[in-house]
Amino acid sequence: MSIVDIDRKYVWHPFTQERTAPPPLPVVRANGASLFLEDGRELLDMACSWWVNVHGHSHPKIASALAHQAATMEHVIFAGFTHEPAARLAECIVNALPRPLARVFYSDNGSTAVEVALKMAWQYWRNTGDTRRRLFLAFNGGYHGDTFGAMAVGRTSGYYAPFNDLMCEVRHLPFVHTWIGDNSFEEREALALAQIDALLEAHGREAAAFLAEPLVQGASGMNMCRPEFLRAVVELMQARDIPVILDEVMTGFGRTGTMFAMEQAQVTPDLVCLSKGISGGFLPLAATVANSRIYNAFLGEDFHTAFAHGHSFTANPLGCAAGLASFALFEEEGTLARISRITEANRAWLEDVAQLPGVTRPRALGSIAAVTLGADQSDYHAGVGAAVKAMCFERGLLIRPMGNVVYLMPPACITPEELSRAQRGLTEVLRETAHLYRS
């Protein structure tokens, strides 16, 4: 049997309708910005393999660090023990984040990093004696993962209807997204901030925490807000002593042009969630980083106030070694400067592609460039996205649209020639599919 036949017989894929989905494409190797298929085709990975890859596939420095660590120690229980990769990676993370973020709690993926943060915020209030705090706040359209707490704060993203009856109480706040050429953001932001302020006046004392994806709502369609808007919302929360959680799972590690998106908004949360790029895209790893105020509330003379949460592979040495190697590459290869050049190229491309009929709301931040096809955003699997995806495959491009939102998100290693090829190919596809979405 072929790999595809074995897969179809035994595997259940994520975000896939198994009855109608075409056979999966077997990838036999990956290098730099490219994936290589079993049939010999090469695809430029313009989605960073679900937004995890930072420096390029199979980067030799990270691969070497993994091989060395695997030959030394592959894993060890992290309760009551520690090891050098975990300690040193925590030091790197804390030094890269603004103070007073100071304590790193490791887990396995973005959903669990968010789940950990929600549990920390909830227990923080109980440890400090305030049991009124039973309400979470989050932006409309936010997506934070697929575990139950993460689903609850992200229910307005449209993915979780079967589970609504099982979710905790969340109030969703207006998110004001904007784009290049948008002239209406000031009025919309003022209205949203007034609505948020009124909600906090009524329910702020019940709020356990506020959670947000800083600057970019990824899975909802690469919706982008201004740093000033995020900062104003965070200030409203902090004025009422509501802990702020920033979900930097997608936006962290250079994706938005700075190491973390919070830097551009000049805000410091109480908790930050990290994953995806933390290991350079090599292995599952996540971290929830807390400030001293949160951490100190869990200190006590018995286990009653401790944070009783953990994972079998917490602080896996292989993942931590990959993370250390990835951090080093930011300096060695000038990763943020590379992303800055991608931003410039994307903005120039958007000026041209936005002139195509039906292409609306061009937006760019860091290595991300996105457009909406037609006037309104459609559901994840609806709209013209499937046609765009298939035609891009024919041109050697891995593009993964979200409904009628199409985006480019290359790894930092992409060459100017490769990026230009992807942009030209996508432009051709948008011309050929325009009849599907233009009014």
Conformational region of residue 249, where left means phi above 0, alpha means psi within -120 to 50, and beta covers everything else: alpha
**How would you label 372-398 residue by residue, b for 16+ Cβ within 10 Å and e otherwise?**
bbbeebbebeebbbebbbebbbebebb
Give the SS3 label for residue 24: coil
End-to-end CA distance of the chain: 47
Residue carrying the six token digits 């001293």: 292
Q: Which residues contact 388 (CB under 8 A, 6 or more apart)?
A: 373, 399, 401, 406, 426, 429, 430, 433
**Separation CA 403–CA 95 (nearest Å):** 38
- The residue type of 9 is K
On the CB side of 367, how many CA atoms lie within 13 Å of its CA? 32
Please indicate, yes or no, whether the overall pTM of this predicted structure exceeds 0.85: yes
**Which residue from 244, 333, 334, 316 is spatially nearest to 275, judged by alpha carbons?**
316
The 359-365 sheet, strands edge to edge: 359-365, 368-373, 405-408
Residue 26 is classified by DSSP as: P
As annotated, the residues of the chain forming the CATH 3.40.640.10 domain(s) are 63-330
Fold of 3-55+334-436: Aspartate Aminotransferase, domain 1 (3.90.1150)
Give the SS3 label for residue 339: helix
Query: Per the structure block, which two tokens stand in for 416?
Result: 């100017």
Fold of 63-330: Aspartate Aminotransferase; domain 2 (3.40.640)
As annotated, the residues of the chain forming the CATH 3.90.1150.10 domain(s) are 3-55+334-436
Instruction: Spell out the per-residue pLDDT of the chain, length 439, in tens.
Output: 999 999 999 999 999 999 999 999 999 999 999 999 999 999 999 999 999 999 999 999 999 999 999 999 999 999 999 999 999 999 999 999 999 999 999 999 999 999 999 999 999 999 999 999 999 999 999 999 999 999 999 998 877 888 888 888 999 999 999 999 999 999 999 999 999 999 999 999 999 999 999 999 999 999 999 999 999 999 999 999 999 999 999 999 999 999 999 999 999 999 999 999 999 999 999 999 999 999 999 999 999 999 999 999 999 999 999 999 999 999 999 999 999 999 999 999 999 999 999 999 999 999 999 999 997 666 666 678 999 999 999 999 999 999 999 999 999 999 999 999 999 999 999 999 988 887 6
CA 41, 276, 66 angle in degrees (round to 5)? 75
